[in-house]
Amino acid sequence: MTTPNILLTRIDNRLIHGQVGVTWVNHLGANLVVVANDKVSEDEVQQSLMDMVLPDVIQARYFSLKKTIDVIHKASPKQKIFLVVKDVQDALALKEGGVPIDHINVGNMHYEEGKKQISSTVSVDDEDIQAFKKLDKLGVNLDLRGVPNEKGQNILELI
């Protein structure tokens, strides 16, 4: 088993959109975006819409959490992977499943009933906070920022 070349993992409930598909991909030098989410892995319409945002030279894969855990270690070293998940629970499931995640960019978690807003783009509830604390205990750096040129902030300082 080889260690996959994961450049960055990002939590963004919008998954692939302009900021992810252009700004982050270019900044990282990624050539593969892996979206790990059970629902999206089965939704070809949503996949097609996300594919349209990516430059032609960037490939995308849409895997369930289980499939991501099962295949990520088979990735070629030539694949420069930008891993995108919808929420912190998906990120935690991947980390606990053995995906070598050491740094997470927390980009966007929409406000909904029962969540408190901790930044202009991130809202959390108690379940989210517990998941972030578990990730921290597992040694994951948790960096809140929307775009690469913003100053990042440790999300634990805000929750």
Q: Which of helix, strand or coil describes residue 23?
A: helix
Q: Which of helix, strand or coil describes residue 75?
A: coil
Other beta carbons within 10 Å of 95:
21
Angle at 97 between CA 132 and CA 34, to 5 degrees: 85
**Residue type, position 74, single letter:** K
| 17 labelled catalytic | yes
Q: Which of 17, 27, 73, 110 is catalytic?
A: 17
Pairing relationship of beta strands 141-144 and 153-154 according to DSSP bridges: antiparallel
Q: Which residues are catalytic?
A: 17
